Structure 1
């Protein structure tokens, strides 16, 4: 059995996720096999800046018709290849009640109180979304329209808006089943019907769900059932039913973990991760659930993964070596504040400055200022 340490795992993930910057076409990046999470801070564009050899602009990517922005894994918004959406949607159909309830996330207690089975709840909301959103609609208006079509128990009073809304997590996890996408670059959020959407399907697809687990173990492996469940937003017990049968067991720091069999040689001999990248919060590299592999020090884990407002991270020579934040100053300048965990050599600092310039260019800023904390 192959035994590896965390440095070898990091080198494997850096390579398989395209951080050596050898690919010019975003659609060919392995990270899109799972989707690339996005936020109002252009995190998906930043993730591509770190990976693509060719220059990229935010507008060019978000307007690329090969991709769609949807709420998918864990109810978080991700960019996916459009051609992958049918299988993705099937993979998100709960296989049983426990799976459905787990996907309700922080709304679980409210769904339980509604006394409607979680699977039924999901598709009540999905059908309501399909009916209520026949054209591009602001999120607020869409929520109001959907709320009128669902049982009262699946709604809540929002103090900020001072109106009654559909439960937020339910709104998100039901949207793709209802054939709904998000408009890129829209603030506030705008929802729209997916082009060529199919009727709502309630039939679980174990093969599609298994493919998600396998892709997770490819991109963020080696990993465990618990790791894959955490990414998908379900339970380890559910993943027992969708666990691929062509995995190789390896040991990471003495603990068992799994990887697709054909990837073992890549784990055994990954290329040297001698590179510097500024990765955004929610970057695919940070989506692995074994955070102790990514950042062994618990105090530093708290700096990287916060309750609110996660920073970006500095990747240097195979390690997460610090954090960074950026702030627009007017329309021309983007200011970066970089805080390394330990002193970085001059060459790494210079490379980080170059990465800041790439991000600024992608976001349309002509000037960059970098400060080191």
Structure 2
């Protein structure tokens, strides 16, 4: 099959049709099978606005919780899924732990412990220093006093010693710590009803994460799924679910057999959406499938300050940015090619939805 059919499948699988998705609450969206990444500029809020008829409220939704999870990035997850997400963050073995932390053998030697031991040493320290709401800086400084010096660094900016950032983020959920939504700078808090720190690998939990990735971003390779998890392709291949191969324009990819029918006959992607930076749709690791042109890839995924993406007629067809002007939100949309009058009108309607979700009473769109 060709890539346009793959994109049509992913658009449907991720609930971007709205009327076809059937989701009436944020937690019922399929994208929460992996979690929805959050960040500056209301990323998660706008990702849900693109998928729900109503404008959601993430901060007040008791069904959702904000944590550092995949790759140490902030994600909203279903509260009910959190035990499984936590188990999936436990490294399968030392090679997996090294990959997730981005360590090399030299760093483990300098730390005087394995990467796995470093993760759980930090998790136990995290639990100790966050008995209640605690600012990120204060928590990092306190943890640095409880772990080996090799796991810390001196921060010139705030004249303090902090734990290594990636280790700090990856140890938080195993340590039973969440993020407080809507707080800036970041504030940590203990998870309600947290149990003992689990250190036993759970291959089935990692398999479930890979299966969710291949459902939402398939067909794809094991390496792509590994990239989302933050581990190596070898570690991912060791725990793959049952999959079938699919030829996508001459390249081999994988998908679960139960998703083949949806892949073979996806609904027409006749929709327009303004996706925020780091939207779930943009989280696929096979960027050549999403945007084949390498020059245009650099417009969508930048080193710093990603724009949003214009999704029109089944393709990422441009980028967009917004800025505030009093109570008005101004959008600048930069299409990659000629966009129809109907698609421009639909994009204007999507801009109005985004403005309302962010609390703006007026909107202006420039092309």
TM bin (shorter chain): over 0.9
Q: Work out whether residues 98 and 104 of structure 2, in 8 Å CA contact, stay in contact via their aligned partners in 1.
A: no
Aligned to 2:96: 99
Q: Does 1:345 align with 2:340?
A: yes
Deviations 1:190-213 (CA, angstroms, capped at 9, x unpaired): 000011111101100011110001
Q: How many Å separate the matches in 2 of 1:196 and 1:13?
A: 36
Report the alpha carbon displacement of residue 164 of structure 1 after superposing the two structures with TM. 1.1
Residues 111-161 of structure 1: CA deviation (Å, up to 9, x unaligned): 553232000000000000000000001111111111111111100011222
SS in 2 for 1:157: strand
Matched, 1:254 2:253: no
State the secondary structure of the residue aligned to 2:137: helix
Are positions 1:140 and 2:143 aligned together? no
Q: Distance in 2 between matches of 1:187 and 1:238?
A: 35
Would the aligned equivalents of 1:106 and 1:169 in 2 still touch at CA under 8 Å? no
Are the aligned partners of 1:102 and 1:108 in contact in 2 as well (CA < 8 Å)? no
Pick which of 72-81 and 247-256 moved more. 247-256
Return the match for 1:300 from 296, 299, 307.
296
Question: 2:55 corresponds to which residue?
Answer: 56
Maintained 8 Å contact 1:111/1:153: no
Query: Which position in structure 1 is the counterpart of 2:168?
Result: 171
**Closer/same/farther in 2, CA of residues 106 and 350 from structure 1, 3 Å limit:** farther
Task: Tell me the equivalent position of 2:353.
Answer: 358
CA 1:161–1:102 in structure 2 vs 1: closer, same or farther (change >3 Å)?
A: same
Aligned to 1:149: 146
Deviations, residues 329-355 of structure 1 (Å, cap 9, x unaligned):
23x111111111112111111110100
Given that 2:178 and 2:191 are in contact with CA atoms closer than 8 Å, whether structure 1 keeps it comes out as yes
- Rounded to whole Å, the distance in 1 between the matches of 2:155 and 2:104 is 14
SS of the aligned residue for 1:129 comes to helix
Q: CA deviation at 1:24?
A: 2.2
**How far apart, in 2, do the equivalents of 1:126 and 1:61 lie?**
27
Q: Secondary structure at the match of 2:58?
A: helix
Given the two structures, how large is their TM-score scaled by the length of structure 1?
0.95
In structure 1, distance between residues paired with 2:172 and 2:224: 25
Tell me how far apart the structure 1 counterparts of residues 59 and 163 of structure 2 sit (CA, whole Å): 28
Contact kept in structure 1, 2:273 and 2:347, CA below 8 Å: yes
**Partner SS state of residue 116, structure 1:** coil
1:197 aligns with 2:194: yes
Cα pair 2:154 2:160 within 8 Å, conserved: yes
Task: Flag the 1:21–1:109 CA change in 2: closer, same or farther, 3 A.
Answer: farther
| Secondary structure, counterpart of 2:113 in structure 1 | coil
RMSD over aligned CA atoms reads 1.2
CA drift at 1:308: 0.9
User: Partners of 1:362 and 1:316 in 2: how far apart?
Assistant: 21
Could you report, residue by residue, the CA deviation over 1:152-177 in whole angstroms, capped at 9, with x for unpaired residues? 11000112222110000000000000
Contact persistence 2:12–2:266 (CA under 8 A): yes
| Structure 1 unmatched ranges of 5 or more | none
The runs of 5 or more residues in structure 2 that have no matched partner are: none
Do structure 1's residue 335 and structure 2's residue 341 form an aligned pair?
no
Distance 2:312 2:245 in 1: 29
**Aligned ranges for residues 1-373 of structure 1 at < 5 Å?**
4-22=1-19, 23-53=23-53, 55-57=54-56, 60-105=57-102, 110-111=107-108, 113-244=110-241, 246-330=242-326, 332-372=327-367
CA contact (8 A) 1:107 1:167 kept: no
